[in-house]
Amino acid sequence: MQLFFYDLHWDDERFVDEEGIAHFDEGSALYYAQRIADRIGRDADYGSLKVEVRSSRGTLLATVLPSVGRGRERLALVNRRYPGLFRNPANGAPSPAAVPMNSR
């Protein structure tokens, strides 16, 4: 088992991980970093979030950003409050079920 550290950066804020988490290999550590970025990146004000993964020797392994899908998910949830941003079948636009498969 190897010890990895996850430092968080957003805007002008910084959190330095001093405890670390043990993983079997670098792949597992990077996967965990992506999970951290996606979970924290769901919150509204963390669009600039970066997770830096360091080894126990202090070597920077990677800088991980929240997945693009998480930003789109957040945007879709926030914009549900504003009518007119999405096609509405009631306004004459066809629903996704009414559009033939070969035209999608």
- Secondary structure of 29-57 in the HEC alphabet? HHHHHHHHHHHHHCCCCCCCCEEEEEECC
Domain with 35, as residue range(s), is 2-83
pLDDT of 99: 47
* Number of structural domains the chain divides into: 1
In a domain, 92, yes or no: no
In a domain, 74, yes or no: yes
Q: Is the dihedral of CA 63, 38, 75, 49 positive or negative?
A: negative
pLDDT of 19: 93
In a domain, 102, yes or no: no
Q: What is the mean pLDDT of each run of 10 residues along the chain (104 residues)?
A: 92 90 91 89 71 92 81 57 51 50 51
In a domain, 78, yes or no: yes
Q: Is the dihedral of CA 44, 45, 50, 53 positive or negative?
A: negative
pLDDT of 53: 95
In a domain, 97, yes or no: no
In a domain, 42, yes or no: yes
- Count other Cβ atoms within 10 Å, centred on residue 71: 14
pLDDT of 90: 52
pLDDT of 8: 92
In a domain, 79, yes or no: yes
Averaged pLDDT score across all residues of the chain: 75
Residues 6+ apart with CB under 8 A from 89: 95, 98
In a domain, 101, yes or no: no
